[in-house]
Amino acid sequence: MALEIEIDGKKLTVPDGSTIMDAAHQVGTYIPHFCYHKKLSIAANCRMCLVEVEKAPKPLPACATPVTDGMKVFTHSDLAVKAQKGVMEFLLINHPLDCPICDQGGECQLQDLAVGYGGGDSRYQEEKRSVPEKNMGPLVSAEEMARCIHCTRCVRFTEEIGGFQEIGMAHRGEFSEILPFLGKTVDSEISGNVIDLCPVGALTSKPFRYSARTWELSRRKSVSPHDGLGSNMVLQVKHNRVYRALPLENESINECWLADRDRFSYEALNSDLRLTKPMVKQDGRWIETDWAAALDYVSHGLKDIIARDGADRVAFLASPHSTTEELFALKKLARALGVKNTDYRTRRADFRADALQNGALWLGGDVVELAAAKSVLVIGSTLRKEQPLIAARLRQSVKKGTQLNLLALADDDLRTDTHAKLVVAPAALVNALAQVVAAAAELKQESCQLSLDAVSISDEARRIAASLSEAETGAIVLGNLAQHHPAFSELLLLAQELSRLTGARFGLFGEAANSVGAEVFFRPDQGGLNAAQMLAQPQAAYVLLNTEPDFDAHNPQLAKATLGQAKMVAALTAFRSPELLACADVLLPIAPFTETAGSFINMEGRLQSFNGVVKPLGETRPAWKVLRVLGNLAQANGFDFSSVEEIRAEFAKQLNADRVTGLDNTLKTDAAAVSTAVAAEGLQRLGEVPIYQADALCRRATSLQQTADARAPILGLHPDTLREQQLQAGQTVTVRQGEAEVSLTVGEDATLPSGVARVPTAHPLTASLGAMFGRIDIVRGK
């Protein structure tokens, strides 16, 4: 039913259930407010939005008052303005009036509105209250809590969007204080959003605090370089330096949020770990050199090796965090040199699906569609850590009735209700998914098109199958852990079959900002080696683009050994890393995403381009320019592009508006057989990538590295396993994988299946270990 309403004389109709605030938005009328936020529940506590409503004896809060048919609202009448001014006076009596020294100065909603209501002298002559500072952790500063106006947006955010109330308003009345639980910090992976939500200078960015005034900063649009969502951001820049990252609202992607890594990873850009000059290794010693010499070195090196060992002994590995243009140009260079070995899937273990793929793997639809699905099955994902904002979106979907089902390797707290879940050891993941497939086949009374061994179907598997089958719309998504799993091909085949049986669509979460771009443009050519092969079978030369073998490889131990045997390793990188210094022969400083133009293709296949927001640091150059020179030095054709736009034009035929073409999750299934045997010897490692070790930027973002999520990895074991191994939590043990041993603290983790050793990968402490899901041994007596 539509309701008629008149706001300040403007007539409009709004749907039943709208508030006066909703209606005002529709006609572009601004009603002052603090506690109201469109993504949060309505609190109606600040009382700033009081408006006059015809026939109502008192002013009513626009944010909470439902529209009734024929309602007449006056937002600027005497009554309304008087009420608003009264509230403003109350807000200011205990608020410090020192905007010039407040970190929020210039972007403070209270300041803006207070100026508008111009109270002048304060009638409040009593002492202002003082409020002790709070410690919310390394990201959010709560040092100036006297500025808090108790709107409770931060509280509601942690509870409603974050899924777990980490901030509360304790005490009552005038003594109310916003705080985290005593001794606890705010550890959500999306905590930084409370900084944006706080309308005053109470919660501010700890890394940014007092480093610049907002009016000195210019705002430039960009795209997050982390997970495959492609969050839109505004980067704020002064003196050629990025000072801050803020969300740029895009309802279909990141809504109005950013994950903490999107927001705080910029710190790495300014770190002294940046590589700012080309370097070459001579007689085992690194020397800085100029670009011409360095490029000449690489060019000659490649030419010689190709001449002597053949182009099939040359490997190009790139990170999916690289831009599409960089990957396209590198691929072009590879082809010009006759190199077929190009790949980006350095964390993948299983490539058997390559032969079956009909196209590039992707999410299989839009994120908005995923969130709208009535039933979702997520397979092999640490969801919150891999996809913080998608996890937050699904949390909202669950509240609206979506059934979230999981096939997980650990029963991590997703801070949302789940419908059904199977938590299994890595070796049992295929079996678990096969159970769901078999259950769906039973339910649909269809035969399975895969030749599948018999499985015994658990109740949870049935619940999952039923949920997907009965839902109007369903989605099946394979997460990072599934993609890194040694039986990824089976998982993919089973997901496809489950999709066929239940009608749910299936796809992959994008691990990196440009996983889909890399999938389209950087897989090996016919006959070329894949990443695992390149890292297992020593090649004569390697070109690494944004790749750090110790952190980015499925088996870092093997990768390091293999690279160590190469005749030449040339690394294009923004950072100097100990490992690259050890294994490379030449380091070329290339621009991170803020210093070059480019584009990322997110997991939906959506191409989002961006410009550099600052000049490259030192002698850093955008990779695409470096590759152009290398192409020219190789005397290859087609290396005269003078901008990323020109490169983009070269692949324009693979674009349809802002979407890339060639995406197809279907697999050829002829004669595909899936073994569901669960076989594992000894302890199975569960080696996920920690959230702030996923890419080169996060790893070097100092504040992110101080968060709870960045704590040093421990050896997590189920209590039963602890007992079997006669270990105790807190004890230090040596674990061995392959050749290497490292010492780790033992932790009890009841969320794990027994027989699993949770030892994260991609961390300095564990980088010498082997495969993410390999066997791991606990060595005692050391």
Partner 1 sequence: MAIYASGVIFEGVDTSDAGCWHLDAYLKRGGYQALKKILENKIPQDEVIAEVKGSGLRGRGGAGFPTGLKWSFMPRSFPGEKYVVCNTDEGEPGTFKDRDILRYNPHSLIEGMIIAGYAMGSRCGYNYIHGEIFEMYERFEEALEEARQAGLLGQNICGSGFNFELYAHHGYGAYICGEETALLESLEGKKGQPRFKPPFPASFGLYGKPTTINNTESFASVPFIIRDGGTRFLEQGKPNNGGTKLFSVSGHVNRPGNYEIPLGTPFSTLLEMCGGMRDGKKLKAVIPGGSSAPVLPGDIMMDVTMDYDSIAKAGSMLGSGAVIVMNEDICMVKALERLAYFYHEESCGQCTPCREGTGWLYRVIHRIEHGLGRPEDLDLLTSVGNNMAGRTICALADAAVFPVRSFTKHFRNEFEYHIEHKKCLVNHKWC
Partner 2 sequence: MLSQESIEKIDRELAKYPADQRRSAVMGALRIAQTEKGWLATETIEFVANYIGISPVAAYEVATFYNMYDLSPVGKHKITVCTNLPCALSGGYDAAEYLKQKLGIDFGETTSDGKFTLCEGECMGACGDAPVLLVNNHTMCSFMSREAIDKKLAELK
Positions in the binding site for ligand FES (CB under 6 A)? 33-36, 44-49, 61, 63
Residue 671 burial (C-beta neighbours within 10 Å; 0-12, 13-18, 19+): exposed
- Closer by beta carbon to partner 1, 86 or else 105: 86
180 binds, among partner 2, partner 1, ligand FES, none (CB under 5 to 8 A by kind): partner 2
| Structure-token match 């960009």, residue found | 222
Min dist CB 40 to partner 2, Å, is 17
Element of type H or E holding 80: helix 78-93
Question: Counting contacts by CB under 8 A, is residue 160 touching partner 2?
Answer: no
Identified binder of partner 1 from the candidate list 169, 336, 727, 729, rule CB under 8 A: 169
Please answer whether residues 628 and 639 qualify as being in contact, where contact means their C-beta atoms are separated by less than 8 angstroms.
yes
Element of type H or E holding 38: none
- Segment near partner 2 (CB under 8 A), from 176-184, 361-369, 440-448, 566-574? 176-184
Region label for 726, one of left (φ > 0), alpha (ψ between -120 and 50) or beta (otherwise):
left
239 binds, among partner 1, partner 2, ligand FES, none (CB under 5 to 8 A by kind): none
Amino acid identity of residue 570, one-letter, is A
Min dist CB 631 to ligand FES, Å, is 58
- Segment near partner 2 (CB under 8 A), from 109-117, 160-168, 243-251, 605-613? 160-168
Question: Counting contacts by CB under 8 A, is residue 124 touching partner 1?
Answer: yes
Please answer whether residues 704 and 698 qualify as being in contact, where contact means their C-beta atoms are separated by less than 8 angstroms.
yes
User: How many residues sit in the footprint of partner 2 (CB under 8 A)?
Assistant: 16
Among residues 713, 708, 727, the alpha carbon closest in space to that of 769 is found at 713
- Closer by beta carbon to partner 2, 186 or else 429: 186
Min dist CB 85 to ligand FES, Å, is 15
Min dist CB 417 to partner 1, Å, is 16
- Closer by beta carbon to partner 1, 123 or else 400: 123
Rounded to whole angstroms, the Cα distance separating 265 from 283 reads 35
179 binds, among ligand FES, partner 1, partner 2, none (CB under 5 to 8 A by kind): partner 2
Question: Counting contacts by CB under 8 A, is residue 171 touching partner 2?
Answer: yes
Question: Counting contacts by CB under 8 A, is residue 314 touching partner 1?
Answer: no
Question: Counting contacts by CB under 8 A, is residue 145 touching partner 1?
Answer: no
Element of type H or E holding 161: none
Torsion of CA 548, 554, 558, 564, to 10 degrees: -20
Question: Counting contacts by CB under 8 A, is residue 184 touching partner 2?
Answer: yes
- Closer by beta carbon to partner 2, 120 or else 183: 183
Question: Counting contacts by CB under 8 A, is residue 46 touching partner 1?
Answer: yes
66 binds, among partner 1, ligand FES, partner 2, none (CB under 5 to 8 A by kind): partner 1
- Closer by beta carbon to ligand FES, 33 or else 718: 33
Min dist CB 123 to partner 1, Å, is 6
Enumerate long-range contacts of 284-289, CB under 8 Å, 24 or more apart.
286/581, 286/587
124 binds, among partner 1, ligand FES, partner 2, none (CB under 5 to 8 A by kind): partner 1
Identified binder of partner 1 from the candidate list 31, 149, 337, 722, rule CB under 8 A: 149
Among residues 542, 565, 553, the alpha carbon closest in space to that of 341 is found at 542
Rounded to whole angstroms, the Cα distance separating 723 from 327 reads 49
Please answer whether residues 358 and 667 qualify as being in contact, where contact means their C-beta atoms are separated by less than 8 angstroms.
yes
- Closer by beta carbon to partner 1, 87 or else 520: 87
Among residues 471, 263, 262, 254, the alpha carbon closest in space to that of 368 is found at 254
Identified binder of partner 2 from the candidate list 168, 503, 538, 662, rule CB under 8 A: 168
- Closer by beta carbon to partner 1, 82 or else 668: 82
Please answer whether residues 356 and 461 qualify as being in contact, where contact means their C-beta atoms are separated by less than 8 angstroms.
no
Site string for partner 1, 50-89 (x = CB under 8 A): x------xxx-x--x-x----------------x--xx-x
Question: Counting contacts by CB under 8 A, is residue 183 touching partner 2?
Answer: yes
- Residue 250: both structure tokens together: 């895009």
- Residue 391: both structure tokens together: 């996890």
Residue 264 burial (C-beta neighbours within 10 Å; 0-12, 13-18, 19+): buried
- Beta bridge partners of residue 4, listed in sequence order: 13
3-state SS, residue 14:
strand
- Closer by beta carbon to partner 1, 37 or else 621: 37
Question: Counting contacts by CB under 8 A, is residue 150 touching partner 1?
Answer: yes
Question: Counting contacts by CB under 8 A, is residue 750 touching partner 2?
Answer: no
Min dist CB 196 to ligand FES, Å, is 16
Min dist CB 44 to partner 1, Å, is 4
Main-chain phi, psi angles of 53, to 5 degrees? -120, 130
Residue 666 burial (C-beta neighbours within 10 Å; 0-12, 13-18, 19+): middle
Rounded to whole angstroms, the Cα distance separating 143 from 135 reads 7
- Closer by beta carbon to ligand FES, 63 or else 353: 63
Main-chain phi, psi angles of 206, to 5 degrees? -65, -45
- Beta bridge partners of residue 459, listed in sequence order: none
Question: Counting contacts by CB under 8 A, is residue 284 touching partner 1?
Answer: no
Residue 745 burial (C-beta neighbours within 10 Å; 0-12, 13-18, 19+): middle
- Contact set with partner 1 (CB under 8 A): 42-48, 50, 57-59, 61, 64, 66, 83, 86-87, 89-91, 93-94, 123-124, 126, 149-150, 152, 169, 171-176
Interface ranges with partner 2 (CB under 8 A): 159, 164-172, 179-184
